[in-house]
Structures are given as structure tokens and as C-alpha cells.
A and B are shown apart, each in its own frame.
Chain A
Amino acid sequence: MQEFLEFFSFADANIRYVTIGSVLLASSSAVVGCFSLLRKRALVGDAVAHAVLPGVCLAFIVSGTKNPLILLLGAFITGWISLVLIDYITSRSRIKEDTAIGLVLSVFFGIGILLLTSIQHSGNAAQSGLDKFLFGKAASLVGEDLIVFGAVAILLLITTILFYKELKLLCFDETFAKSIGFPVRSLELLLTTLTVFAVVVGIQAVGVVLMAAMLITPAAAARFWTERLGVMLVLAAVIGAFSGISGAFVSYTAPAMPTGPWIVLIVSMVAILSFAFAPKRGWVARMLRRRHNKIQILEENLLKLFYQLGEQHEDYFSNRTLDNILTRRNIPKSQALAGLAKLKRQGYIQRHPDGWALTREGEIRGKRVVRLHRLWELYLTQYLQLASDHVHEDAETIEHIITPELEQKLMEELNYPALDPHHTRIP
């Protein structure tokens, strides 16, 4: 607790630098990452991250200094070339995108390592620390670096806000964007440039390998909570910032701990929890929904059977035994019994010594399912010209889905019909 307060009072200048740095880097790359993710180019960031290394080394060889601006410039140039190369290889040969990404990534990184080791062996004393690009050293960010990286991060955020509308259209409907005269090529170039910037800056925090996570993971997590791009961007930035702070905190309390991997670990946990538990899109929510649907279909099928049995003798409320019910439709016995018990609890049927009988409510609900089934069959035969013996299967599925509004619409379209295509009455 003591450490917690100490950390969050931000009294120590060093803590301030590291935290502000991590937060800025993490959230700006998260925002840009949203666009890469939506354009299905998530792994491109990984390639750029690796391709940055030869640029840094070349910049050092040419300039002989470790001025962050010059190194960033070198990194930016090779990062950018790598993206252009991936596009060029995929469009000009039969090499697929994933292969092109893997190739560019490993070859550029190989060149980088070759140059880096060559520089290290050359005995140039100024080179020490050049390899921090490889693994990131968020915990050792100092004032000068922070100003450069912070400026780039803020620039990224501002550009994204300024071009929000254009980028949004590029992600969701490129063809439309082109047709209304947007400069799609330049926008793509802008997005590429933003991605490279985000990677070049983000590598400072987490290093080459983990950079891909800074781009993709917050974006993928945010995608599970919302359908709106604006909200997604904000959420991704918040998730990025949160993991930035947590990573800085962990390495503050345990100085041996590397900041970058902790940031990535935390952001991954947030993402995995989102995949599992996000409302609507999450795995659990979808499982529950599927189960709920399955139960609803079983119940409605049972009520439909009761109603159809009743139709035979115009007698809807008599007792039916289990065998009675299951002769018309093959439902596993245990499932049928569970469904019947549930229907009884809900008051749709009543238990009798030798079977079950519909209640008034049960009869209404059963009647509705049967009506929807027959309405749909009629609709298919009349409007899609399907043969009357081909429509049953489809109606079996749709009868559980049609809403009262749709039902009304169908009735109007079909002019309040009395008979279905098999000449049975529509109740």
C-alpha cells in the first residue's frame, strides 16, 4: 500500500517520466492499431517493428551519433520501405501476404542484426545502448527521449483525430470512399505512415518482438466491447494507458522486472478477459445465447406438437402421454422431459397422472408457432416460387425467429390467408 501511494503521488521525477512515457506510447500505438486491425493487417506492425532495426543501425553508421531524432528517422525510413515491399511482393508475384510479411520481417531483422553486431565488434565506444531498440527500456526513459517520443505520440493522436472521418471510411468502405472522390491512395499512405510512426516510437517501450502486441491487442480487446469506431478508439487508448501505468508500477515495485513484457502481459490479460466475458460478442455471452436459443426452440417445438395433436380432433386441452408427443417428432427422451418440466413451471402445460395437457397460455403460444410456420411456407411458395414440398425445413428454422412486426407484415403481404400450401388451415 505504501508503495502504491508512493508511486501514484508521482513525486519522484523518474517515476513521472517512466509513467508518462509508457502511457503515451501505449495509448498512441493502441489508437493507430485500431485501424490496422480493422483493415485486417494486424501482423504488418510486427514486420515494421522488425524492419526498424537496420534503419537504426544505418542511421548510426552514417551519422555516428545516437541522437534519438536521427535514429528515429533511420528507423522510420526502413520501416516504411518494409511496408511498401510487402505490398509490392504480394501484388507483383504469387507470394501470399503472410509469406511476404514473414519474409520481410526476418530478412530485415537479419540485416539489422548483422549490422548491429558488426557495429558492436568495430570497437566504436559510442555504440553502447544501441541495442535497446531490440528489447525496449521503458524503465530507463530520460527527459530528452521523453520529449521526442511524447511529441510523436501526441502528433499521432492529433492526426488521427483530424483525419478521423476519412480513415473511418477507408476502413469500412474503401470502394465508397473512392467513389465519392476521397484520395484513397494518399489516405492509405497516411495510415502506413502513422503505423510506422507508432511502431518506431512504441519499440522504445516494449522492444521489437512485443511491439505487435501494443498495436493489435488493445484494439482487439476494445473491438469486443463496442460496435462504434469512436468508442473503440477511446477504449483501446484507455486499455493501452492502463497497461502502461500498470507495467510502470510493477517495475517500480520490483525493479528487476522488465516494464515492456509486463505491459504486454497485462494488456493480453485484458484482451483475453474481453474475449471471454464481453457482453454480446464475448465467448460466454455467445454460449449463453446459443443455449437460450436451443431451449427456446425445444420449448416451442413441444408446444407446437401439443397444438398439432390437438388439431387432429379439434381438441386442444386433453391429456397427451410422452409416447403420444414423441411419435410425431423425434426428440431425445431426456431432453423432452426436461423441456416439459420447464414448460410446466412456466405455466404453459399442466401435469396429469397419465401425461400433460396444454393450458390456455400454452395453446396460444403453440398456435402462434404453427401459424408462423405455415405463413412462412406460404410466403416461400408464393414469392420465391418454391415447390410446396421444399419449404418445410426452412420454416422449421424461421418459425422461432419471426417477430410480431414481421408476422404482421407477412399477414399483409399474403393478404390474410386461410390455408397454407399443403391446404391445412392457418390458425
Chain B
Amino acid sequence: MNAFWIILTGSLVATCCSLLGCYLILRRMAMVGDAISHAVLPGIVIAFLFTGSRDSIPMIIGAGLLGVLTTFLIEFFHRYARVQADASIGITFTWLFAIGIILISVFAGQVDLDQDCVLYGEIAYVPLDLWLTEDGLSYGPQTIWTLGFVTILIIAFITFGYKELFLTAFDPGYAAVIGISTTLWYYLLMTAVSLTTVASFESVGAILVVAFLVGPPATAYLLTDNFKTMLIFSVIIGIVASIVGYYLAYWLDGSIAGAIATVTGIQFTLAFLFSPTHGLLLKNRKTMAV
């Protein structure tokens, strides 16, 4: 049963992240996703200080705000202070992450958080934290409920906003002409990324979020030229990574999040070498045949 809960958690995170990641990598913003996943730390800590618990909702709000703030700061430094785009990403997230760690140290007595937990989480504890009702009924692990809710939210966001997200990513000029606000959808996408990060940080940590945001979409990108297919492929790839990763970790007796990230790397390598359309080896053979 534990294996089932852990793999389910991994798959839920994989679904959210892979879907959003497809947009991020096509917008060339993969590193913004990385930045947000680290920069939400002070938001989590502040929410923790205000409520004194690991309640999901205040944390999601706190971290969501920080995520939007991160995006805004990156834009601000880049556009108004003319800092190079990549430098502005690096400076913003390290700064916010440092603030987060300092906050943790200042309130060490009151905050039951530490930075390793934020970085690589502990998915193995998911089944332990059950949601129990007053009469002792168990509804399964809490994390599953939070993540399930976020996953539904993200899927709804992508389904209903499909046209807007698609146009603002691929043809911002046309989007603006037919009256879709590029800025609004940009910030909505970033809010969704922060939401996902926060919902998954406790269980899988920032690193796995980045691995899922970038890995499966990049692999899918090498396998197909159709955007809808890419979305579906990346979700499947993410779920497969969760399953294989779990057993790899079990075998090596190591961190599950680390193992899943490793598997996404292996998947990418396979696609990089053997993809029928864009793979290194098969592409070469095709040109040789011609």
C-alpha cells in the first residue's frame, strides 16, 4: 500500500509539472521554473510563522505570492534595471532563497522546517501523514488530497485556457491583436508553477519539481512535433519515471526523489539518442541513407 501512495504522489506531481513544463521550455523559461521552485522558500516560512502549522492553504497562498513576486522581480531587474536576463534570474532566486534560510535560522525554535526538506523532500513519509476524521476513519494520506486538488486545478487551467496559453506562448503578437493579455496569462502560468511547487515541496522537494518541469517535457519535445501530443507524452513519461524511480530507490536504498530525477535523466538520454525523428543516432542514419 505504501508503494502505491508514494507512486501516486510522484505521478500527481509529475502530471502537474510536466504539463506546465511544456509551456516553460517552449517559452525558453525553464530556468524561471527552477528559480520559482527555490524562491518560494521564504513564502513557506512566513506562512508557517503566521499560522504556526504546516496547514496547506496558508502555505499555498504565501508561496504563490512569492512565486509571482519572483517572476515580477526577474522581469523588473531585466527590463527596468537592464540586468542581463540570465543574471537577473540567478540573482533573484538566490537572494530569496538566502532570505528563506535566514528566516528559518532566526525562528529555528518555531519553524519545523529545514532546507534539506525543501530541496529534496521526503516522499517516503507521505503514507505516514494520514488524514483521519474524528471517528477514526482514514481517508488516506493528506498530501494526496492536496496534490490531487492542485492537479485537478492545473488540468482545468490548461484545458480551459488552452487557446490563450497556446497563443501567448507561440504567437504573442497575434494574441495581443485578438485581445488576449500576454502579461495576464504569463503571470497566471507562473502562479500555476508556484502553486505546484508549494503543493509538492513537502513530499518531493524543489529538485524533483525542477526535474519534472524540465525532464519529461524535454524528452517529449524530442519525440513529437505536435503540441497536444507533447503534453500527453510528457505526462506519461513523468508517470513512468515515478514508477521506475520508486523501485530504483528501493533497490539502492536511497532517496526516492533523487531516484526519480535520475530516471528522468535516463529517459531523456534514450530519447536524445534513439528518438525516431530527432534522435542523434537515427537522425544520422537517415542522413547517411540519403
Tell whether A pairs with B. Answer: yes
**From residue B18, how far is it (CB to closest CB) to chain A in Å?**
13
Kindly list chain A residues whose C-beta atoms are within 8 Å of the C-beta of B259.
110, 114
**From residue A216, how far is it (CB to closest CB) to chain B in Å?**
4
Residue A46 interfacial (CB < 8 Å): yes
Main secondary structure of the interface of A (DSSP, over half): helix
Number of A-B contacts (CB under 8 A): 208
Kindly list chain A residues whose C-beta atoms are within 8 Å of the C-beta of B120.
113
Kindly list chain B residues whose C-beta atoms are within 8 Å of the C-beta of A109.
207, 258, 261
The distance in angstroms between the C-alpha atoms of A134 and B255, with both chains bound, is 15
The distance in angstroms between the C-alpha atoms of A114 and B253, with both chains bound, is 8
Q: Is B221 in contact with A94, judged by CB distance below 8 angstroms?
A: yes
Q: Is A110 in contact with B208, judged by CB distance below 8 angstroms?
A: yes
Q: Is A264 in contact with B214, judged by CB distance below 8 angstroms?
A: no
Q: Is A271 in contact with B91, judged by CB distance below 8 angstroms?
A: yes
Q: Is B94 in contact with A212, judged by CB distance below 8 angstroms?
A: yes
Residue B5 interfacial (CB < 8 Å): no
Residue A256 interfacial (CB < 8 Å): yes
**Binary CB contact string for chain B from 43 to 60 against chain A (1 if under 8 A, 0 otherwise):** 000000000000000000
The distance in angstroms between the C-alpha atoms of A272 and B95, with both chains bound, is 10
Residue B140 interfacial (CB < 8 Å): no
Most chain A Cβ neighbours within 10 Å, of B33, B93, B211, B258: B258
Q: Is B81 in contact with A276, judged by CB distance below 8 angstroms?
A: yes
Kindly list chain B residues whose C-beta atoms are within 8 Å of the C-beta of A390.
none
Kindly list chain A residues whose C-beta atoms are within 8 Å of the C-beta of B248.
114
Kindly list chain B residues whose C-beta atoms are within 8 Å of the C-beta of A265.
95, 98-99, 102
Kindly list chain B residues whose C-beta atoms are within 8 Å of the C-beta of A215.
90
The distance in angstroms between the C-alpha atoms of A250 and B272, with both chains bound, is 47
Q: Across the two chains, which residue of chain B brings its CB closest to A211?
A: B94
**From residue B200, how far is it (CB to closest CB) to chain A in Å?**
14
Q: Across the two chains, which residue of chain A brings its CB closest to B266?
A: A107
Task: From B8-16, B23-31, B144-152, B157-165, give the one contacting chain A.
Answer: B23-31
Kindly list chain B residues whose C-beta atoms are within 8 Å of the C-beta of A256.
105, 108
Q: Across the two chains, which residue of chain B brings its CB closest to A219?
A: B87
Q: Is B28 in contact with A217, judged by CB distance below 8 angstroms?
A: no
**Binary CB contact string for chain B from 111 to 123 against chain A (1 if under 8 A, 0 otherwise):** 0000110011000
Residue A159 interfacial (CB < 8 Å): no
Residue A73 interfacial (CB < 8 Å): no
**Binary CB contact string for chain A from 109 to 125 against chain B (1 if under 8 A, 0 otherwise):** 11111111110011000
Q: Is A217 in contact with B90, judged by CB distance below 8 angstroms?
A: yes
B residues 213-238 in Cβ contact with A at 8 Å: 213-215, 217-218, 221-222
Kindly list chain A residues whose C-beta atoms are within 8 Å of the C-beta of B116.
131, 134-135
The distance in angstroms between the C-alpha atoms of A210 and B97, with both chains bound, is 8
Most chain B Cβ neighbours within 10 Å, of A37, A106, A220: A106
Q: Is A46 in contact with B90, judged by CB distance below 8 angstroms?
A: yes
Cβ-neighbour of A103 out of B28, B119, B214, B280 (below 8 A): B214
Q: Is B255 in contact with A213, judged by CB distance below 8 angstroms?
A: no
Cβ-neighbour of B31 out of A37, A101, A286 (below 8 A): A101
Residue A41 interfacial (CB < 8 Å): yes
Kindly list chain B residues whose C-beta atoms are within 8 Å of the C-beta of A182.
none
**From residue B206, how far is it (CB to closest CB) to chain A in Å?**
8
Cβ-neighbour of A118 out of B31, B222, B252, B264 (below 8 A): B252
Cβ-neighbour of A110 out of B38, B98, B261, B272 (below 8 A): B261
**From residue B5, how far is it (CB to closest CB) to chain A in Å?**
19
Residue B68 interfacial (CB < 8 Å): no
Q: Across the two chains, which residue of chain A brings its CB closest to B275?
A: A93
The distance in angstroms between the C-alpha atoms of A122 and B259, with both chains bound, is 16
Kindly list chain A residues whose C-beta atoms are within 8 Å of the C-beta of B38.
209
Q: Across the two chains, which residue of chain B brings its CB closest to A220?
A: B87
The distance in angstroms between the C-alpha atoms of A2 and B22, with both chains bound, is 56
Q: Is B255 in contact with A113, judged by CB distance below 8 angstroms?
A: yes
Kindly list chain B residues whose C-beta atoms are within 8 Å of the C-beta of A116.
254-255, 258
Most chain B Cβ neighbours within 10 Å, of A103, A109, A131, A217: A103
B residues 255-290 in Cβ contact with A at 8 Å: 255, 257-262, 264-265, 268, 272, 278, 280
Q: Across the two chains, which residue of chain A brings its CB closest to B80?
A: A283
Q: Across the two chains, which residue of chain A brings its CB closest to B209?
A: A106
Kindly list chain B residues whose C-beta atoms are within 8 Å of the C-beta of A210.
94, 97-98
Residue A196 interfacial (CB < 8 Å): no
Q: Is A98 in contact with B258, judged by CB distance below 8 angstroms?
A: no
Residue A262 interfacial (CB < 8 Å): yes
The distance in angstroms between the C-alpha atoms of A283 and B80, with both chains bound, is 7
Kindly list chain A residues whose C-beta atoms are within 8 Å of the C-beta of B249.
114
Given A111-B258, A265-B102, 10 more contacts at CB 8 Å?
Answer: A43-B31, A43-B90, A89-B272, A98-B28, A106-B34, A106-B264, A135-B115, A217-B91, A220-B91, A258-B101
* The 3 residue pairs across chains A and B that have the minimum distance between CB atoms: A110-B261, A107-B265, A113-B258
Offer 20 A-B interface pairs, CB within 8 angstroms, sorted by A.
A40-B86, A41-B86, A42-B86, A42-B90, A98-B28, A98-B30, A99-B217, A101-B31, A105-B210, A107-B265, A108-B265, A113-B258, A114-B258, A115-B258, A117-B254, A117-B255, A118-B252, A213-B91, A265-B95, A268-B98
